[in-house]
Amino acid sequence: MSAPGTSSRGRSAIGRYWWVLLVIVVIAVAFVLGGTDRRGGPPLDPRSTDPDGTRALVLLLERYARQVGVSSSPGGAGTALLLVDDLDEPDRRELERWVSGGGVLVVADPTSSFAPPIAGSVGALTDHTGSAIGRGFCNIEALADVDALDVGAGSAFSTDDVDTSCFGEVRRAFVTVTGLGSGEVVALGSADPFTNERLGELDNALAAVSLLAPNSERSVVVLEPPGPGEGPDDLYDVFGDLWALVGPGPRQALVQLVVAFVVYALWRARRLGRPVADHVPVRVPSAELVRGVAALLGRTANPQRSADLVRRALRRDLARRVGLPADSPAGDVATAVAPLSRHERSTIEQLLGDHPVADDDELVALMGPTESLRREVLDGRDP
């Protein structure tokens, strides 16, 4: 039979070193998270497995198309997918020539110049209870078997100048097809149906295959979004791109360093042991402090010091009043203050000077004129 205090001492030791167990658990979690093979990237990146990436779309197309690639130009492909239109003018003209030569461009950026004019939010085409949209009016043959899409948030295009449309009404639709030379441009009001998060919802996958790889002979190129340093100068995007370039090993080390620093900071911030009472300094009211200082000066029986304090304070306040430095000589202050006072310049200089004060009677005689000068110049009152 164990001693009565054994279990209590064990529980006390566990409670005392709980932070050691916490460090071990946190480092283990960081090791697992940092060692995963998960690949991130900017939104709509065809190589990203994040919810807003499009890696699942590339894997899906590889099952139905003859060839699927990720590139900055369509090359010899039959279909090109433009998820983010950040093209400069030369690339835009090159892509336009490729479509005119017979290519099919699928644009999932409603703000692209290849897309028709926007006629409002896609919310007007849904049932207002979610992000699902039915086929509605549709004359696009490739989407004959697609009944509903989970479109997230997007736009509806005007159908005035398009050839065919689907998922909408006669005047506006989520999907439009417009001829351009020998080719055609298929525009979608949002890229959300192609993301990893929504590709498996409703008929999104079927619509992607029907538009991008309608037969096994079609080769598809996904035009990649801008790489690090090529996109917008948003600080969050820049750091996100840099983090994506870091390998799993250095990333894991950085995560562990951050976790270790946080745990160390928490450990140092927590005071172990009994609370210690801090002695708060005694607070003295300002009026009581002034009275105490005055009493001490009175006990010293030194009228010269009291006179110096009064004249120094008055000289400083008058100097600030006329725009002079606080440590200006008495003569300069008297010259500047004389036009504002009824006192003569010589009188003001004598009041502000450092002539000796021998006894209390001379100190009292000094206080009256100095207070009169202060009220006249600083307070604007008659002496």
pLDDT digits (tens, 9 = 90+) for 293-345: 666 666 666 777 777 777 788 788 888 888 888 778 878 877 887 787 787 88
Per the CB < 8 A criterion, the answer to whether 44 and 84 are in contact is yes
Of 80-89, 247-256, 334-343, the poorest mean pLDDT is in 247-256
Check whether 232 has a pLDDT greater than 60.
no
Per the CB < 8 A criterion, the answer to whether 181 and 100 are in contact is yes
Check whether 99 has a pLDDT greater than 80.
yes
- Of all residues in the chain, what percent carry a pLDDT higher than 90? 25
Per the CB < 8 A criterion, the answer to whether 243 and 50 are in contact is no
Confidence class for position 115, pLDDT limits 50, 70, 90: very high
Cα(90)–Cα(205) distance, rounded to whole angstroms?
33
The average pLDDT across 234-259 equals 65
Of 139-148, 308-317, 357-366, the poorest mean pLDDT is in 357-366
Tokens in use for 227? 């790489």
The average pLDDT across 154-170 equals 90
Check residue 228 and give its pLDDT: 46
Check residue 193 and give its pLDDT: 93
Q: Which residue carries 């005694």 as its tokens?
A: 282
In one-letter notation, the amino acid at residue 324 is L
Cα(184)–Cα(182) distance, rounded to whole angstroms?
7
Tokens in use for 225? 């979004």
Check residue 58 and give its pLDDT: 92
Check whether 208 has a pLDDT greater than 60.
yes
Tokens in use for 74? 């369509």
Work out the number of other CB atoms within 10 angstroms of the CB of residue 350: 15
Check residue 6 and give its pLDDT: 44
Check residue 9 and give its pLDDT: 46
Distances (CA, A) of 35 to 24, 29, 31, 246, 278: 16, 10, 6, 12, 47
Q: What are the φ/ψ torsions at residue 187 (nearest 5 degrees)?
A: -110, 135
What is the b/e burial string over 208-239, where b = at least 16 CB atoms within 10 angstroms of the residue's CB? bbbbbbbeeebbbbbbbbbebeebeeeeeeee
Q: How far apart are the first and last CA of the chain?
A: 96
Confidence class for position 26, pLDDT limits 50, 70, 90: low
**Sign of the CA dihedral with 361 first, then 363, 365, and 371 last:** negative
Tokens in use for 99? 């479509």
